[in-house]
Every structure is written in structure tokens, then in C-alpha cells.
Homo-oligomer: A and B are copies of this chain.
Amino acid sequence: MTMTREPAPNTGAHGTVAPHRILLVDDHAIVRQGLRTILDREPDLCVVGEASTANEAIGVLEQTNPQIVLLDLKLSTGSDTEGLALCADLTMRRPELRVLVLTTFLDDPLVVEAIQNGASGYVIKDVDTTDLIRSIRAIARNETAFDSRSANAMARSIQATPEPLALTQKERNVLQLLAHGMRNREIGLQLYVSETTVKFHVRNILRKLAVSSRAEAVYEASKIGLI
């Protein structure tokens, strides 16, 4: 948790405009340092605080009153859920706050979840610094900012979410056992149903996952996290 120089109050005077107050949230000190150096070179941007965890971020938010948050969803826990929850928390406490998600890897559904949790933009960390600054200025103008890959990811994620995962309980059970390499007969014995019934469920699983074999079903399911 770090705080730094206080910029002029945001009531822009004649001729001179107060810089946008930015809070950095990232568990990598190196990344925070890089962002701070890059952003503080811009006269209209000012990093007013840093945080490496969700709790720190809330604390620094209260003390520094930023207008913009640069947020890496993947905080120390390794999961994205803490970052998403923080995003929702921040925008809940300060509805006027603009959150730009800055993340390492592209993850189609994550883009959508970030938006649903209040993010105004989503860019991958390997963008040029000029693109990053352009994105920050965009969200400062109450626009949204998505680099082209994130926009594509959003489109893909929306297209691919009519109802792909509407697996019933039985089908999920079958999928579990199927992943362990069990034969239809074995699955039937395990679930107290006939082999034919298992085949019935397997066919539905294949159809719903839009695949053509058990192996591919396992692959898809593990990608999505169903097993």
C-alpha cells in the first residue's frame, strides 16, 4: 500500500486541468512500478496510490479518492474471483469510479465477467504504452476501452453462450465417470442404470458440448471446468 504526491484538486481552474487520479492494483511490484513510471510521465495522469491485495485496494480507495483504477484481476490467490469481487466492490462503493482491467492473458469468458462486475475496459498487458494511455484517457471520458483482442473475445463469448452448458445432473454424473475412462457398461453399473441408458446420456452430452467423441467431450469439459 503506497500513496504519493497530491495533485491539485479536481475543480479544474482556468487554462490548467487537474490530472486524472489513478489507483494501481496489481500483486506484482514490478508491474506497479512500470505503470507508475509510464503514467506519471503524462501530465494529465497521476498515480495516487498502489495496492497489491483487495483489502489494501479498499483502504487506499478511501484515503486517496481516485477516479480511475487499473486492476489486474489475478491477485495473489491465483484465481480471478478475488479480482472480480474487488471490481464489483469498488464500483459499488464509488459508482462514478472507472475500472480498467489490465490482465496478462486473454480469457474469453473473463472479459464478459469483468464487464458484469463493473469494469469499463479490458486490455492485455502486452499492449504498447501509447495504447494503454489512450485506453485510460478513453475511460476517463466515460467511454469504454477494449483492445481488439478483448473485443473479439467478447464477441466470441457472447456468440458461444446461448446454452452450451445446460447439462442435467445425470449427464454431469455420466461425464464425470466418462472422464475416468469408464466404459458405458461400467458407468451403468456405477449409476444403477442400464448400459443403454448410459449411451443415451452420452449421446446427449456429445450433442450439448458439440463434440463427436468421448475424448473430445472430456477435453471440452476440462477446459470449461466441468470436471
- Which residues of A are at the interface with B, using a C-beta cutoff of 8 A? 27-38, 76, 104, 125-129, 132, 178-183, 211-219, 222-223, 227
Contacts and interface: CB of A to CB of B under 8 A. Distances in A.
Contact of A179 (B28, B76, B178, B216): B216
Contacts of A76: 126
B222 A219 contact: yes
A104 B31 CA distance: 11
Nearest to A75: B126
Given A29-B34, A30-B125, A179-B215, 13 more contacts: A29-B128, A30-B34, A30-B38, A31-B31, A36-B37, A181-B215, A213-B214, A214-B215, A215-B217, A215-B218, A219-B227, A222-B222, A222-B223
Contacts of A125: 28, 30-31
A223 B38 CA distance: 38
List of 7 A-B pairs having minimum Cβ-Cβ separation, nearest first:
A181-B216, A34-B34, A33-B34, A214-B215, A222-B222, A181-B213, A30-B34
Contacts of A181: 211-213, 215-217, 219
A31 B35 CA distance: 8
A178 B181 CA distance: 14
